[in-house]
Structure 1
């Protein structure tokens, strides 16, 4: 995904951000090059906050909804492993999670491993309105997609 990038050498430019799931972990990369500058960054797990904000602004926010029929204890175990504080468990069970598309697909895999069905939908623009729908999903049967597709 191409996002705005402020380059001292070429002025306002673009950088390319990529995310993927490799062996159950989020891997990310950022690339920008111009006549005077080359930026190549990569890492695992959390995308740096500035790059993540740029990706969310450009690509939209995705949501993971936990199936209400799922075993509550199993869903809470997955949320705790993902670092959700005890005080936020009930609210997260109801509201679900939000983040980048790849983050939500990775979360869906975690829930599927715990036997908890989920739905990933999005992206959502400001105000929570779906703008498009994405798929396929890595864990067959673990996730479904909802929301209208636009062209």
Structure 2
């Protein structure tokens, strides 16, 4: 089985560099799908998101999810990076890159990983509003839970 690249980091990431690292030297890759999740301003209401994680456990869960995706979709490579700390609107939060022989497997692999990251990985988001007040922790959404049902 291919070993995924998994990172949780405060620093931003560069999608082009990560894609090059994932695909270098593998001539069987026929498709690469990259998903980048960004911080939204929520109609200029949000000044930033503060992302926290459970160190060690977050990486382990990301590795578990990545392993499932690699096996299920016969991926030839997978990178998953999730940032933590304070991220302002427009800033990158998460990157998932899936590489496969064929496009559908790459699309499905990236989508699978994101659906599971949204619900299973121990990350928490706190909103900071533009009026200077710290907001609430963001609750899980029913739509995120519902998205998992298509993979079962």
TM-score by length of 2: 0.29
- Structure showing greater radius of gyration is 1
Higher relative contact order (CA 8 A, sep 6+): 2
